[in-house]
Chain A
Amino acid sequence: MSLAARHLEENGIATVVLGCALDIVERVGVPRFLFSDFPLGNAAGRPHDPASQGLTLEYALRLLVAAVRARTTWRSPLRWSTSDAWKQDYSNAAHLSPDEIARRKAEFDAQKNIARQQRDQPSQ
Chain B
Amino acid sequence: MNHENPTGAAAAPATDPPIAYLERIRDYYLALGYGAPYEWAHFEEVPFQPLRLPLEESTVAIITTAAPYQPDKGDQGPGAPYNGSAKFFSVYSGSSAEDPDLRISHIGYDRDHTSAKDINTWFPLRALREAAAQGRIGRLAPRFHGAPTNRSHRVTQEIDCPELLARCRADGVDAALLVAN
Contact = CB atoms under 8 A, between A and B. Distances in A.
Contacts of A22: 18, 21
Contacts of B30: 93
B34 to A, nearest CB: 8
Contacts of B175: 13-16, 64
Interface residues of A, number: 91
Contacts, number: 287
A46 B6 CA distance: 18
Nearest to B166: A11
Nearest to B151: A115
Given A9-B48, A72-B4, A90-B112, A1 B18 contact: no
Contact of B85 (A34, A44, A114): A114
A91 to B, nearest CB: 4
Interface of B: 1-7, 9, 11-12, 16, 18-22, 24-25, 27-28, 30-33, 40-52, 55, 60, 63, 65, 81-85, 87, 89-90, 104, 107-110, 112-118, 120-124, 126-128, 130-131, 136-137, 147, 153, 156-157, 160-162, 164-165, 168-169, 173-181
The 5 A-B residue pairs with the shortest CB-CB distance, nearest first, are A41-B109, A39-B110, A93-B31, A7-B161, A70-B46
